[in-house]
Chains A and B, each alone.
Chain A
Amino acid sequence: MSQTLTQDVKRRLYYGMLLVRRTEERIQANYHLREMRSPPHLYMGHEAAAAGVCATLRPDDMVFPYYRSHGWYLAKGGDLDAMLGELFGRVTGCSRGWGGSMHLIDLGAGVYGTSAIVGGTVSHAAGIALTFHMTRRDSVAAVSFGDGATEEGVFHETLNFAALRNLPMVFVCENNLYATNTHIQYRQAQTEIWRHAERFGIPGRRLDGNDVVAVWQAAAEAVARARSGAGPSLLELETYRYFEHCGINEDLDLGYRTREELQAWRARDPLAMGRRLVSDAEAREMEAEIAARIDRAFERARSAPWPVADFQEAAR
């Protein structure tokens, strides 16, 4: 069962990317006010990955973002007010102020909680896929992670188990070349991450992670395969992070990557590449609607109450 690239899907793809980009730009612009005291791992540059995959999913499908969590949370339909509430540490936050930027969750929208530990939720996704299987539901679990997570044992452990049991999963690696500030060539003996799929006998593909339509197409195939009971797939999306690993600034001064490299990737910006998906009028309309949503989310977060400590007894 393949999905069709309708006008509606095109709008959804572009809207998803735009919502993430504009929200993070606003976080960036307001961060110096010291209201959001939570470490942001900005997603900018990766938007096509989350928007492309999430547009193939149903509300009952579950996504498993990692600590660079804003993109998948918003693209899957996570509540914007609750996300900002969480970054502001307010009780209205999606984790009631206990999690912060690295621990977003919106179970109603199909966004599972996110972990600050690299590879932490890869196996959780397999657990939920097991639940889907055991409770005879045809939902799919899509887990995203960076290139660094594929160096963790749990990635290979989970890939093996998911393939062994034909679990309804899609593994989405967002390969942005760097684990914090270390290039993949210093970390991996062979850097074609998609090839790990071959070892477990499941489909693996590497593709341009900045081309939202290409991502959408590949994800649609993988999701259809998972939903049909045929088992998991591994997608390696080549993409790039614009800002520092954690924080709101550029980090070219560190010297681990070059301005030329950054500019080359910015020249292939996923939003610019996807801009043709909607008309000028539609784009303007989306910009206005998103700006209003973000204004409102910031206002609500600023005026929301703080959480109150409800610690249990110190020692039990």
Chain B
Amino acid sequence: MKEAVPLAKARDTAIFGSKAVGLGDAARAGLSVPPGVALSGSIVEAVAGEEVRAIERVAKSVRPLQGPLAVRSSAVDEDGAEASFAGQHLTLLNVPSAAEVPSALREIWWSANSDSAITYRQRVGLFTRPSVAVVIQTLLDPDVAGVMFTQNPMSGADERVIEASWGLGEAVVAGLVIPDHFRVDRSGHVLDRKAGLKRIRVRSVADGGTVEEEVPSELAERLCLDSGQLEELNRLALRCEQIYGPARDIEWAFAGGTLYLLQCRAVTRAGL
């Protein structure tokens, strides 16, 4: 089905993939998620194949979104229990406008049909035609972002483990910095806070893409989250557990004073 719907209407993982439906669940539950749309795998393939009607339909759906866009794959069997496609399928941060969305979708479609993605599929026993659904969202310009495990993935302890750094969360996810490290118990009490070494931050640039920029030296070793923000993150962890279940791996960002949920998935690997 060639569908393009607002995130809150993405309900079927077989059509929109787990990432889009997870964000749809969050939007329906009233959590703050950046505004966005979910595209079905078939409309993404049609756009990659330059079908004019599909391109027009996607253009219409993304028109209400403000500013630069983040375009992420939400492949239908992505993040499943058997295999994680994280790292195999492309994410394009800071696509400057709706006009660049078709070429972004084509790149993402090819990333799922690349030699490395197909080799991975063969290795994990998923040698089937990929269905590459996509999430398109307004790209935030966060002050701080990172990841959070609702349960300690190393020890299994009932505590939140948070890693954070300045700017976009890609600095943490891609291992570009030593992030600040926090442990918070279920009641919100901070058990541990360790400052990392955050010499760079990732920011979006006006003409598309992202750039790694130097962090002022006084910020590199300063904790980037205060107690109030840690409390907000603990509340987000609780809500995510209520909505999705225990042991979640969350990507989040603070932008303009608001905490946004960027992604929430089941923990698929041990260790941070």
Does A pair with B? no
**Chain A residues within CB distance 8 Å of chain B:** none
